[in-house]
Structure 1
Amino acid sequence: MKLFIQLTVLFIAFISHKHEAIAISNLTYTSFVFPVNKHTDAAKTLYSINLMTTFVNMQFSHANFLIDIEGPLTWHDCILLWSTDPETSCPKDKLCKSPISCEEVECTRFRANSFEKSSCPPMTNRSTSPGWGFCTCPVNLKNPINGNCVQPELNGDSFAANASDGRNPFLVYHDINIYAACAPSNSFTSFPTNVSGVMAFSNSPYALPAYYSRSSIKASVALCLPSTSSANGVLFFGSGPFYLLPHSDVDLRSLLSYTPLLKRPDSFSYFIGVNAIVIKHRSIDVVGTTTTKLSTTEPYTTLKTDIYNWVIRRYSVVTKRMLRADPIAPFSLCYRSNIDGTQADVNFPDIEFSLPDGKNWTIYTSNLIKQVTNDVACLAFVDGGATSEHAIVIGTFQMEDNFLHFDIENLSLGFSSSLLNKDTSCANFNFTTGSMDMYP
């Protein structure tokens, strides 16, 4: 009888209209969960989540969206279609979305809130959606890979995600209803293979967290980037708890140190205060408290030139006994990691970011030294230039196998430093689907 009830619930879920979420009030879930992919086939290393985009013929279609914690709006490869029956009118192999008119208030609001005004072409109400007769709403955005301007068209959008209790995904899907934008397929030529969208997790009023600020799912993003493309990392959207194997009884939040998340009036990005960079008991002060940005589209941490030069000089001193190698761009300090066919036994010193309230984010070797070739490893920091807007931009190599909790509701960032030191990694979430016994 119990099995029959479980199968009945699943059947009802799949015959619901499109990918409408199951409205069962006693299901205990605290987050949505997404597998994270690492891509190395574009101009720089990037990371995506896998989303369910539509429900057709009794099954979900899936697509990969870049993780962007700076972008103002989600956008992807789709077309606008005004129709009373979009499922039958939509061309094959295309996603069709409902257009937002240029006359609607949301079009005006987004354009007013966008920071992409001076560097992109003017926005014009130049087109109409076939069969609709109203002007569409093109908006200015930037491609996070190459920085080029794009003008996708605003729409009402819906995706689906697996619910989770932090240990497993459930066989229950939750709708994510947001404003997004449709761009033509040629807008994604610079993207990794099989990635056809950008999911915005920034503090923009049109990014995903803003839609859940007053719901039972909390505006919180927990990000764990994998260090390999052969295994999935994990992204949670929600309050937690969060677990990784083999420590299935340890809530990762208990391992985190927290520091305030800072905002800037001219940016949707997330910032933290870094007071100093410390290498072997010596430090350089970082002027200002809102100059350290976190980015999921920059592959390596970049430092303003004066800070970068100090780091390189200091790190050269504390590693003077290690065999050097010729620099390999974009790095300037490299080491021999293979000597006469033997892997060198090298103990690289850590680097610490000294944060407010006495907290330290320690960058260990796994996030500090990049193996560039079989024989050469380099300090994975990059010179951001003398006129860089930000003193520090923390890139994804320094985030891999670190657990980061963006607690947007409480404006704080939780960080673990390397999970490898805690006998786990970002590839250790249990994506085995939880059973219907999750129902109380």
Structure 2
Amino acid sequence: MASSLSYCIILVLGLIWTSHAQTGLVLPLRRDAKTSQFYTTFQMGSNRATINAVIHLSGQHLWFACDNYTSTTYAPIPCDSAECEAAKGIGCSGCNGPAGPGCTNNTCGTASSNPFFFYITSYGLYEDTFSSKDHVELPDFIFSCVPNDFVEGLAAATSGMVGLGRFNIAFHRVVAEKMNLPDRFSICPPSSGIGKLTVGGGAPTKSDISGLLKTTPLLVNKPVSNQPFFSDNDLSQEYFIDVRSIRVAGETLSVKDSYFAINGDRVGGTKISSVQNYTAMHTSIYKQLARAFDKAASDMKMKSVAAVAPFRACYGAETVKMTGAGPEVPTIDLVFPGKDVYWRISGANSMVDIDRKTMCLAFVDAGSRPTTSVVIGTHQLEENYLEFDVAASQLRFTSSLLVHNKSCSRI
């Protein structure tokens, strides 16, 4: 009887692990209404403490506040260890207070950054058991402990960040290595409800979106001054894409190619951000976009109203027709190399409600000397599926799922 029970347990565990190997690690993704930050939820340590952490596409690793964290299974990573070398640790971290998570000596240090607080400092690296609600347990999962005041600027419900950049100890890479999965991850940020953060798996099959996917290369730039620490030979940890032009209502904007290219000083190009609310564009691109959009909006009988900062193109809500995918407004296409490869921004992604009477074009002017010419913000990511295949250096993406009567909470 005992032998049969053991066999059943092993069989069930084997089926669970086989399922995860096919689908990857799947975590919930929620939107904080006040900040528009996207965050996920998981458990850490022997007590399975629930951690809510904001996703950061340029982040280095998982970090969270440890002032109240207790666990019997955590362990500091020594600063002279192979793990520290692999993590590219910077020096040793020490502490004069009571020993515990976040306060140990001879601990591998690492640069932790909070992009909302504009704060970069070195804290210790630790390991503990990572758990998810779908029965994944990953022991010796690497993370950094920070004090409670380091989380300033993060959504109120959160206490840390999930770093998804091109780093040795980035969240997706650690998960992929521990679960023997491909180094790729996807996000489907919801406008409401619960979306998904998936590591290792492919496009969801529950609501098939394979026919909507387009593919474009991920570019590797060199780092610029908005990265914590770098040398001239390092490569950027951010995700750049090769936007060649922009169309509004089918018409290509008259913008010099040089604004979309990355020059020898690492300036220019287009990247995807999970910490900027609205897509920001170089002044020369933004002016052309706003002008073309306003003309196309006028052709659709949308009435212009006074601008509401930081937006410049605003319209009377009563003159805009509403659909299940948001406002019916001129489409904006980010155009990539290849036949018919573009990212369409429309409806709810292109407009933002100011109040019941006013809505505005949800793009902002980044000035005449931005480091990156186009930074795609979180408002434009909502209800779009994006799969970052880091190993293959490709981005697979959809435009708004709402247009196809789907959503991130239903796939």
Match of 1:89 in 2: none
Q: Which amino acid aligns with 1:160?
A: S
Match of 1:33 in 2: 26
Equivalent residue of 1:312, what SS? helix
Match of 2:109 in 1: 138
Equivalent residue of 1:27, what SS? helix
Question: Share of identical aligned residues, percent?
Answer: 24
Match of 1:322 in 2: 302
Equivalent residue of 1:397, what SS? helix
Match of 1:45 among 36, 39, 61: 36
Q: 1:161 to 1:7 in 2, by over 3 A?
A: farther
Match of 1:256 in 2: 213
**CA deviation profile, 1:409-428 (whole Å, cap 9, x unmatched):** 21111111010111110111
Equivalent residue of 2:409, what SS? helix
**5+ residue gaps, structure 1:** 14-21, 80-91, 115-122, 163-169, 430-440
**1:333 is aligned to 2:313:** yes
Q: How far apart in 1 are the matches of 2:32 and 2:198?
A: 19
Q: 1:153 to 1:23 in 2, by over 3 A?
A: farther
Match of 2:376 among 394, 397, 416: 394
**1:158 is aligned to 2:119:** no
- My pick for the range that moved more, 31-40 or 131-140, is 131-140
Match of 2:9 in 1: 9
Measured after TM superposition, the shift of residue 140 of structure 1 is 2.4
Q: 1:209 to 1:224 in 2, by over 3 A?
A: same
Match of 1:119 in 2: none
Match of 1:434 in 2: none
Measured after TM superposition, the shift of residue 205 of structure 1 is 1.2
Residue-pair matches, total:
374
Measured after TM superposition, the shift of residue 213 of structure 1 is 5.4
Q: 1:5 to 1:398 in 2, by over 3 A?
A: farther
Match of 2:394 in 1: 412
Measured after TM superposition, the shift of residue 235 of structure 1 is 1.3
Measured after TM superposition, the shift of residue 253 of structure 1 is 3.3
**CA deviation profile, 1:342-371 (whole Å, cap 9, x unmatched):** x75663110000101131111111210111
**1:268 is aligned to 2:237:** yes
Q: 1:108 to 1:311 in 2, by over 3 A?
A: same
Q: Which amino acid aligns with 2:37?
A: L
Match of 2:195 among 233, 242, 248: 233
Match of 2:147 in 1: 184
Measured after TM superposition, the shift of residue 404 of structure 1 is 0.7
Match of 2:232 in 1: none
Match of 2:81 in 1: 104
RMSD: 3.1
**1:195 is aligned to 2:173:** no
**1:216 is aligned to 2:180:** yes
Match of 2:337 in 1: 356
Equivalent residue of 2:388, what SS? strand
Q: How far apart in 2 are the matches of 1:237 and 1:197?
A: 19
Q: 1:372 to 1:159 in 2, by over 3 A?
A: same
Equivalent residue of 2:406, what SS? coil
Q: How far apart in 1 are the matches of 2:104 and 2:178?
A: 35
Measured after TM superposition, the shift of residue 176 of structure 1 is 6.2
- Does the aligned pair in 2 maintain the 1:226–1:426 contact within 8 Å? yes
- Does the aligned pair in 2 maintain the 1:219–1:238 contact within 8 Å? yes
Q: Which amino acid aligns with 2:79?
A: C
**CA deviation profile, 1:6-64 (whole Å, cap 9, x unmatched):** 99739x99xxxxxxxx56697333211111111123xx3201011121343xxx43211
Equivalent residue of 2:219, what SS? coil
Measured after TM superposition, the shift of residue 78 of structure 1 is 1.7
- Does the aligned pair in 1 maintain the 2:117–2:152 contact within 8 Å? no
- My pick for the range that moved more, 259-268 or 133-142, is 133-142
Match of 1:308 in 2: 286
**5+ residue gaps, structure 2:** 224-235, 263-268
Q: Which amino acid aligns with 1:238?
A: G
Measured after TM superposition, the shift of residue 301 of structure 1 is 0.8
Q: 1:98 to 1:213 in 2, by over 3 A?
A: closer
